[in-house]
Amino acid sequence: MTRPSAETSPKAPPRRTLLWLQSGGCGGCTMSLLNAEGPDLLTAFDAAQIEVLWHPSLSEQTGSEVIALMQRILDGEITLDILCLEGSVMRGPNGTGRFHMLPGSERPMMAWIEDLARVALHVVAVGSCAAFGGITAAGANEVEACGLVYEGSREGGLLGPGFRSRAGAPVVNVAGCPIHPDWLTQTLHQIAAGAFGPEQLDEWERPLSYTVHLVHHGCSRNEFYEYKASAVKLSDQGCMMENLGCRGTLARADCNIRPWNGSGSCLSGGYPCIDCTAPGFEEPGHSFTRTPKISGIPVGLPTDMPKAWFVALASLSKAATPPRLRTNAIEPELKVAPKDRSKGKS
């Protein structure tokens, strides 16, 4: 078979341009993203026909080169298909943004972010800081940190709740602290293919590709949860919801179905889920490893479950807890193995 000539070959689809900015944060989402596997990050971008115009950890350009690139985008010389922001927007002091100036430009970073968002075809908030303010906005928030369209759970942020990109789309909040690499690469693939719309977003504009799940789904401690065989200290094997602050039955993510690096999640590492994909997770009002209770009943009950039902089911479950689970729940490793009760019976 002869190869078609250049004149008759199908024209390659145009590559989508992506610009990545970092603002008030730790860079943890980038560090997580760089650990993408199956495929690796660069392969994932290439497969999605995405051209990275600039990323602070992947690109060689610095200083005046980056400023010139962003100015060309604003002048309309370069089309920006996807703007990704990692980290919260720093608006302090007193709304001036001068706590975070872009060196060499004499402009606050928040001004660059807003201007670029207005000309981008799609805008993606990468991580809970960019989406809701996150860790950077905790405490007194002296730096006046916020997300792109949220301040915690309140609408507002830098762009305001009515913001729509040039494609008429809201900001896509790929929330997490940090994000799983696949949460972002899957979303970018859908955007680049023109297959991402409002129906793929939940009520916080997070992609349903991962928030249709609860962290509870796939948890290795589910048998302990079913019988309310609870851990009392972090090294115990039991369920951490009742005493140790785990919010896995409320948290929207697929961490235990799609683990980091093929095997890792907070729960598999022995730490309770802190619901890091949700607005305001950074300030629960108590220790992350303590479950607040009223009259002995956990405040953070499983999502969608009426309190009376939970209390009734929990009482029955505890009454039926097998001795094996009751013992193993408060041990640092599984001590008692399951037994086949049919052995020895004819």
What's the CATH fold of domain 16-211?
Rossmann fold (3.40.50)
Helix (H, G, I), strand (E, B) or coil at 307: helix
Which range, of 47-51, 115-119, 213-217, 299-303, averages the lowest pLDDT?
299-303
Q: At residue 2, does pLDDT exceed 50?
A: no
The listed CATH number (3.40.50.300, 2.40.50.140, 3.30.70.2190, 4.10.480.10) that belongs to domain 214-335: 4.10.480.10
The helix or strand, by DSSP H or E, that contains position 222, with its residue range, turns out to be helix 222-226
Structure-derived torsion over alpha carbons of residues 20, 22, 26, 28, reported in degrees to the nearest 10: -10
Burial class (CB in 10 A: 0-12, 13-18, 19+), 25: buried
Q: pLDDT by residue (tens digit) across 227-278?
A: 989 999 999 999 999 999 999 999 999 999 999 888 889 999 999 999 999 9
What does pTM read for this prediction? 0.90
Domain ranges (residues) in the chain: 16-211, 214-335
Helix ranges, 34-180 (H)? 41-47, 64-74, 109-119, 128-132
Would you state the pLDDT for residue 12? 62
Q: What is the mean pLDDT of the chain?
A: 92
Structure-derived torsion over alpha carbons of residues 19, 48, 174, 169, reported in degrees to the nearest 10: 80
Q: pLDDT by residue (tens digit) across 137-176?
A: 999 999 999 999 999 999 999 999 999 999 999 999 999 9
- Alpha-carbon radius of gyration of the chain: 24
What band does 300 get if pLDDT is binned at 50, 70 and 90?
confident
Q: pLDDT by residue (tens digit) across 179-217?
A: 999 999 999 999 999 999 999 999 999 999 999 999 999
Would you state the pLDDT for residue 13? 67
Which percentage of the chain shows pLDDT scores above 70? 95
Chain centroid to CA 39: 19
